[in-house]
Amino acid sequence: MNFEKLYIDGQWVDGASGKFIDVENPATRQIFARVPAGNGEDVDKAAKAAHAALPEWSALPLSVRINLMEKFLSIFKSQEDELIDITIKELGSPWAFTKSSQVEYQYVRTRSYIDLAPDVPMVEKMPLSTTYREPVGVVGCITPWNYPLGQVIQKIIPAMLMGNTVILKPSQHTPLSSYYLADAFEKAGFPKGVFNLVTGRGGEVGNALSSHPLVDMISFTGSTSGGITVGKNALESVKHISLELGGKSPYVILPSESHDYTEPIHLCFNSIFLNSGQTCTAFSRLIIPAGEKETIEKQLVEIAKEYTVGDPTDHAVKLGPVSSMQQFRKISEYIQKGMDEGAHLLIGGLPESPDHGYYIHPTIFTDVKNSMSIAQDEIFGPVLCVITYKDEKEALAIANDTRYGLNAGVYGSKDKAIALAKRIQAGNVYINSSPRDTAAPFGGYKESGLGREGGIYGMIEFTQQKALFDTGK
């Protein structure tokens, strides 16, 4: 795969700047690839290509777009070994997690969109009118580094199925897996200009996308501060905006008569520790009954031993490195801050030198007050804050005492768990061991974003409504 080109208007082309951005393996700190440092000129070419392709693409019957997407999915599946390998190299995500969550789950997501597309209500009859849904137009998709395939699939597949054309700007830190997607779209026979790939820095390519007059919508996933910047740029030309932003998700454990908290602890650990905590929905605040504190802490220490850290190519390792030196420093600073704020370090702590990779071991703080910065700020690393509550009223108050509202979880008696979950201010709440549903909408309350991804609601996000008042003579 040649990573030194951009994919614009159905062609692999050189970047206008002639400059490149290095891609580092966070497990070895070796530079192993580079991609073009795209700029406004590249975005302009891509926007013109996407705009030119839009009328014909949007006019195609949905069945034709679905058939093309079926071909894409078949090719996408055939790339599995290569996608696992490149994701491990560019992100440091361990083999087992990469295979199941970073790669294979994206086939499930793609299949879900294909299967649900015919059910999107594109025409609705009203008492005195008919409402039609149409494509928004040219969609600029700006995606983060932590799920380099997943965050892309969540945007480009529904957008294209709904008749939009797309310009993708993947993260400059993990852009390589997107090249395989571009290759698959090309081999599947998608018309030129329907999918375009422009790599580069957010401050240049992202800003150019969000302000370009031919781009009709921006779909952004990333930090809340980044989303605000993109949103402001996009609103200058009144674009449609979808923002999936940060989180500081609570996980509430209700008291158990058995005093066995093995399952909820595993569920919490899988959320906060796998992918080295670099997950926007991670359960980073564990809220436990004060009367069970000693029991739960002992189980936390014991179960944490299962979450091994090491070479991400080792099939037995559960945590690899964090993604970059920037991440390593940020997480380290928060660990130090937690100690300075008076939280008790149950396991983990400050990492060793990053000379041989950006490795940070699972870290758990107890005796955390929800007012502490480690409990309020999105650390985006394998750092868990344990907070106690006296009763369910206080548990709910702690859970909702955050500027975010992306995800949450409640574990306990199902009826009690559901009753509490309904009062938590979050777009998604997991009850006990319930799995994720690809047909469900995903998105947040408060500073966690605007709009929804996933399922029919995620597809509707890429449409706009037109009402025809058609009952007269």
Q: Which residues are catalytic?
A: 244, 280
The Cα 350–Cα 89 span in angstroms is 24
The Cα 57–Cα 48 span in angstroms is 14
Contacts of 28 by beta carbon, 8 Å cutoff, 6+ apart: 356, 357
The Cα 428–Cα 271 span in angstroms is 14
Q: Which residue has the tokens 């070479």?
A: 311
Handedness of CA 195, 48, 22, 143 (dihedral sign): negative
CB atoms within 10 A of CB 23: 21
Helix or strand holding residue 228 (H, E): helix 224-235
Q: Are 21 and 199 contacting, i.e. CB atoms less than 8 angstroms apart?
A: yes
Q: Among 405, 409, 399, 447, which residue's Cα sits nearest to residue 429?
A: 409
The Cα 374–Cα 381 span in angstroms is 11
Q: Among 116, 161, 168, which residue's Cα sits nearest to residue 139?
A: 168
Q: Are 281 and 249 contacting, i.e. CB atoms less than 8 angstroms apart?
A: yes
The Cα 447–Cα 88 span in angstroms is 31
Q: Are 47 and 216 contacting, i.e. CB atoms less than 8 angstroms apart?
A: no
Q: What does the block give as tokens for 119?
A: 């059910």
- Cβ contacts of 15-23, under 8 Å, gap ≥ 24: 15/39, 15/42, 15/199, 15/200, 16/41, 16/42, 16/45, 17/41, 17/42, 21/172, 21/175, 21/199, 21/200, 21/201, 23/90, 23/173, 23/174, 23/175, 23/176
| Packing angle of the helix pair 177-188, 80-91 (nearest 10 deg) | 150
Determine the longest span between alpha carbons in the chain, in angstroms.
Answer: 78
Q: Are 452 and 438 contacting, i.e. CB atoms less than 8 angstroms apart?
A: no
The Cα 436–Cα 268 span in angstroms is 14
Number of helices (H) and strands (E), helices first, in the chain? 16, 22
